[in-house]
Amino acid sequence: MAPPSIVGGALRRIVPVAFAAALTACSSGISGPLPDPPTPVTATEFVTLVAAESPAVVNVWASWCLPCRSEAPLIAAGSQSHPGVAFIGLNVKDTESGASGFIAEFLSEADMIHVSDSSGRIPIDLGAGTGVPATFFYASDGTLIATHRGVIDEPTLARYLDEIDR
């Protein structure tokens, strides 16, 4: 496990702390400023983030992914109902404006960190392949407990959350 100073430093670099006031609305019809786009993350930073001494759910999504839109409200609700679990949105192969618009439209109520992997290599390296959505569930020691490929449903999400949030 990474030393707390490395984990804390990575979190400070990765966690968006302010909304971008100058961004304009995207084509989805959202008005007002959009949230900051997800912070680019390397594989090393991602591993450090997941090993941050709390259980974690990593949801891989993209703004162009229609199934991601249908599961986003469930992910957001899970993040609110399990405050002891770190929820991490991993945006892949996307544009900054597309990602910001998706967060504003579907994940604005989610209590989660948003990071991006423009190459899409992180989920491939984790064994999920190139398809989105995908969701990974980690124990508090950073051990991967489960990988769910495709849209996750409420009973499956609840089962995995109960397993990692003990």
Quote the CA–CA distance of 87 and 57 in Å, as a whole number: 5
The mean pLDDT value for 123-133 works out to 87
Instruction: Render pLDDT for 129-164 as a digit per residue (tens, 0 to 9).
Output: 888 999 999 999 888 999 999 999 999 999 999 999
Other Cβ atoms within 10 Å of 29 Cβ, number: 8
- What average pLDDT does the chain have? 81
Higher pLDDT, 33 or 64: 64
From 146, 163, 149, 151, select the one nearest 74 (Cα to Cα). Answer: 151
| CA dist., res. 97 & res. 52, Å (int) | 28
- pTM for this entry: 0.77
List the domains of the chain with CATH numbers: 4-164 (3.40.30.10)
Q: Give the pLDDT score at 71.
A: 96
| DSSP codes joined into one string, 106-146 | HSTT---EEEEETT-HHHHHTT--S-S-EEEEE-TTS-EEE
